[in-house]
């Protein structure tokens, strides 16, 4: 992505030769990463892909990178042998249908506002990035086809509502997962125009700012002149092209990119200093907490889809990946560090959205790539287990306080109402008013279904 306002033509992500070629100019993500053209949006609505009744809704997707242990958090088995049930006890919640772990006490206080699906599973490899891809796109990565992220599809079908991009990832894209596979957080075959805007910063740091959204007076006349010079160069180079419809859409995207970078609305949305200290502290003064608070500010300002990666990698860093020994986490670290951070931030987000009257307008989906093995391993941890795990949903038309589906007595496999990644993706589309049976222009311009045939929204969440 190029920085149109820099004093050089160097890309933000690293050095390169000066001056873009015409081909590069037509492809660079900064021109299209900000949203959908009006004609595309109107065509999508005309085709019935977007339902007006839920067109106003946004989604905050919390991706719990590493794979939380369903058996130690949301689907406990207190009657099972000790090597299955683990060290924690279940507690009652505000919902008579939901018991959860004692290490999530703040979840218990808002359990009437979220619902759990305890029968999720997938057939992908038990490696992190395979699960990341499946859970965020609804499909495996096969045949070299990169299916777009749910947020990218939302960007394509629904477009932008404000100066802000329609799809944002906080705090940055996922890191290494070990399987050398795409992580699913991209526009895929829809193109880089629908890649997310990745923050690439930690909003809990005192010097936090968004580099691409600085006030215009900080750029100075030289930088603005640079942008004008580059545009003049392109105008001169592609005079014939400028007369086409594609050129008109390109110009719209160029203007949208520049508008976002200089927008007072965009800068204000990212400015956490506008929040009272009490609110920031309620979410937690850490990366997870401040990302969730920032996600609320972004959807409040018109962003349609925000994905928060609660952690960034499973190697030598905090995550839900509790194998029990380094470079991974232990169950004790989950209890003392990871779970309390998430418990505080998640409950704060749900309470905040509810108190602001926003909960029905914002779907909060808590996903992960898989669960953990039913049996505790010799290191005192649990290993990867895609055969059964739990996800959560709140807001966005979801009825809270419910437990959908059941696992078997040891949490190893779904026993009732099995749910696959395609069903989860269809559920998110359903909440956002997107017809999950509609199609995208896929590879080779062939119609590509949003979800595979047979995959359906989890309707029990909404009635």
Per residue in 139-191, pLDDT tens? 999 888 999 999 999 999 999 998 999 999 999 999 988 888 999 999 999 99
Domain presence at residue 174: yes
Q: Do 312 and 223 have their domain in common?
A: no
Q: Do 133 and 231 have their domain in common?
A: no
Residues 359, 293: Cα–Cα separation, whole Å:
14
More reliable by pLDDT, 194 or 47: 194
Distance of CA 128 to CAs 58, 291, 427, Å? 27, 22, 22
83 Cβ contact partners less than 8 Å away, ≥ 6 residues apart: 375, 376
Per residue in 320-351, pLDDT tens? 999 999 889 999 999 999 999 999 999 999 99
Q: Do 82 and 221 have their domain in common?
A: no
Q: Do 114 and 246 have their domain in common?
A: no
Please tell me whether the peptide bond between 327 and the residue prior to it is cis, using omega within 30 degrees of 0.
yes
Task: Domain count for the chain, please give it.
Answer: 2
Which of 261, 296, 330 is at the close of a domain?
261
Q: Which of 73, 122, 67, 85 is nearest to 387 (CA)?
A: 122
Domain presence at residue 157: yes
Tokens for 134?
Answer: 């499946």
Q: Do 274 and 322 have their domain in common?
A: yes
Q: Do 248 and 104 have their domain in common?
A: no
pLDDT, position 235:
61
Whether residue 242 is predicted with pLDDT greater than 90 in this model: the reply is no
Which of 235, 261, 287 is at the close of a domain?
261
pLDDT, position 2:
32
- What are residue 3's DSSP bridge partners? none
Band the pLDDT of 122: cuts 50, 70, 90. Answer: very high
Domain presence at residue 41: no
Whether residue 281 is predicted with pLDDT greater than 80 in this model: the reply is yes
Q: Do 172 and 297 have their domain in common?
A: yes
Q: Do 249 and 374 have their domain in common?
A: no
Question: Cα-atom radius of gyration of the chain, to the nearest Å?
Answer: 22
Residues 303, 54: Cα–Cα separation, whole Å:
15
pTM (predicted TM-score): 0.84
pLDDT, position 26:
39
On average, the pLDDT of the chain sits at: 85
Domain presence at residue 296: yes
Residues 25, 4: Cα–Cα separation, whole Å:
11
Whether residue 251 is predicted with pLDDT greater than 80 in this model: the reply is no
Q: Do 27 and 165 have their domain in common?
A: no
Which of 203, 237, 261 is at the close of a domain?
261
Q: Do 296 and 232 have their domain in common?
A: no
Range of the domain at 392: 50-214+265-461
Band the pLDDT of 112: cuts 50, 70, 90. Answer: very high
Domain presence at residue 19: yes
CATH assignment of the domain containing 149: 3.40.720.10
Per residue in 285-326, pLDDT tens? 999 999 999 999 999 999 999 999 999 999 888 999 999 998
Q: Do 279 and 311 have their domain in common?
A: yes
b (16+ CB within 10 A) / e for 135-166: bbbbbbbeeeebbbbbbbbbbbbbbbbbbbbb
pLDDT, position 210:
79
Domain presence at residue 207: yes
Least confident of 52-56, 136-140, 224-228: 224-228
Domain presence at residue 38: no
Domain presence at residue 354: yes
Q: Do 271 and 243 have their domain in common?
A: no
Q: Work out the average pLDDT over 389-393.
A: 98
Per residue in 11-49, pLDDT tens? 333 333 333 443 333 333 333 333 444 445 455 555 567
């Amino acid at each position: 992505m190029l920085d149109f306002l820099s004093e050089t033509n160097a890309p933000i992500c690293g050095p390169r030769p000066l001056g873009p070629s015409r081909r590069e100019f037509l492809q660079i993500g900064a021109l299209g990463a900000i949203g959908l053209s009006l004609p595309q949006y109107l065509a999508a609505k005309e085709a019935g892909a977007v339902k007006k009744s839920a067109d106003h809704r946004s989604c905050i997707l919390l991706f719990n990178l590493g794979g939380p242990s369903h058996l130690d958090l949301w689907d406990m088995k207190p009657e099972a042998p000790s090597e299955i049930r683990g060290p924690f006890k279940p507690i009652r919640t505000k919902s008579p249908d939901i018991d959860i772990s004692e290490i999530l006490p703040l979840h218990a206080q808002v359990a009437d506002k979220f619902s759990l699906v305890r029968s999720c599973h997938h057939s992908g490899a038990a490696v992190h990035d395979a699960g990341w891809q499946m859970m965020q796109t609804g499909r495996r990565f096969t045949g070299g086809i990169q299916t777009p992220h749910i947020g990218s599809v939302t960007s394509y079908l629904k477009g932008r509502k404000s100066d802000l991009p329609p799809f944002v990832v906080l705090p940055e894209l996922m890191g290494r997962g070990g399987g050398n596979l795409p992580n699913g957080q991209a526009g895929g075959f829809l193109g880089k125009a629908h890649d997310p805007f990745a923050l690439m910063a930690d909003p809990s740091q005192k010097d936090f700012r968004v580099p691409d959204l600085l006030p215009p007076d900080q750029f100075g006349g030289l930088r603005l002149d640079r942008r004008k010079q580059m545009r003049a160069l392109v105008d001169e180079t592609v005079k014939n092209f400028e007369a086409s419809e594609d050129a008109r859409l390109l110009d719209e995207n160029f203007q949208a990119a520049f508008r976002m970078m200089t927008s007072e609305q965009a800068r204000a949305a990212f400015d956490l200093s506008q929040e009272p200290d009490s609110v920031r502290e309620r979410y937690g003064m850490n990366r997870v907490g401040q990302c969730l608070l920032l996600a609320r500010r972004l959807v409040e300002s018109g962003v349609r889809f925000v994905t928060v990666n609660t952690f960034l990698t499973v190697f030598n860093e905090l995550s839900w990946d509790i194998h029990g020994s380094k470079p991974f986490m232990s169950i004790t670290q989950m209890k003392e560090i990871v779970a309390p951070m998430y418990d505080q931030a998640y409950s704060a987000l749900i309470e905040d959205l509810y108190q602001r009257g926003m909960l029905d307008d914002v779907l909060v989906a808590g996903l992960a790539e898989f669960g953990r093995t039913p049996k505790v391993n010799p290191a005192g941890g649990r290993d990867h287990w895609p055969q059964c795990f739990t996800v959560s949903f709140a807001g966005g038309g979801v009825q809270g306080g419910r437990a959908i589906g059941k696992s078997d007595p040891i949490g190893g496999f779904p026993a009732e109402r099995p749910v696959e990644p395609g069903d989860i993706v269809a559920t998110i589309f359903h909440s956002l008013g997107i017809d999950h049976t509609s199609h995208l222009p896929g590879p080779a311009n062939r119609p590509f279904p949003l979800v595979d045939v047979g995959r359906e929204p989890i309707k029990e969440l909404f009635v």
